[in-house]
Amino acid sequence: MGNNVLIVGASGDIGMAISKRLAQDGYKLILHYNKNKEILDYHIKDLGSESVLQMIQADLTSSNELKNFLKQLVFPVDHLIFASGKTSFGVFQDATESLMDEMLALHVKSPWMLIKHLLPYMVQRQNGNIIFITSIWAEQGASNEVLYSSVKGSQNSFVKALAKEVARSGVSVNAISPGYIDTKMNGHFLEEEKKVIIEDIPINRAGHPDEVAHVVSFLMDSRSAYIQGEVINITGGW
């Protein structure tokens, strides 16, 4: 079993937590980022230089940058994790066509293209994990986050469909659906709004990126191979 993992969106809070956990588990990491290289450079010190095979910058909303990104992958990719994401907060009728294109490219088309490129190697080896970090809004939907809810819902559907297609080839495809996690992505909420959200969560707190990373580690374990096409909620009962 190969142990090279490509983490898309490694510089985000959840992506970085996943990177740390998988480095501890002994995996070799290929880390993608877009704009947060300084943050990634800082945290890489905790991973150990021997754990990081490559760092690649790319804006995955750009078709040209995506193609260039694929050309830069010089190491075989045994497992693939999508931790990238961008929220869009606002009334749906104010959304522009360019924003729609950007959200679709980042959350839907770029995963399609990456997986199309990398899947043949996994099928040939009869082994591999593909894991998406989606969102509670993919199933529940969120007012003022209609675009984000839509593209995350697309990811969930893609996971369920692809899992059936590649199951006999030894490739596991699953998703993790976090609820309210303490990350920079949720930084647009006011303190009073955060308080209201947490009061509505039965466990009465925000989730931590490390808790998402733990479930990634669980799914990557060969003993979890019978889990296929699932969307695992990490919501504190929300």
To the question of pTM greater than 0.75 for the whole model, the response is yes
Which residues are marked as active site? Answer: 148
Give the pLDDT of the chain (238 residues) as one tens digit per residue: 579 999 999 999 999 999 999 999 999 999 999 988 888 887 787 887 789 999 999 999 999 999 999 999 999 999 999 999 888 888 899 999 999 999 999 999 999 999 999 999 999 999 999 999 999 988 887 887 899 999 999 999 999 999 999 999 999 999 999 998 887 766 666 788 888 888 989 999 989 999 999 999 999 999 999 999 999 999 998 8
Secondary structure (3-state) at 81:
strand
Tally of CB atoms within 10 A around 187: 8
Q: Give the Cα-Cα-Cα angle 101, 109, 182 (nearest 5 degrees).
A: 80
Cβ 11 vs Cβ 33: under 8 Å: yes
Cβ distance 234 to 178 under 8 Å?
A: yes
Q: How far apart are CA 21 and CA 31, in angstroms?
A: 13
What's the CA gap between 147 and 100, in Å, rounded?
Answer: 7
AA letter at 90? G
User: Are 157 and 108 a contacting pair, CB within 8 Å?
Assistant: no
Q: Which domains does the chain have, with CATH numbers?
A: 4-234 (3.40.50.720)
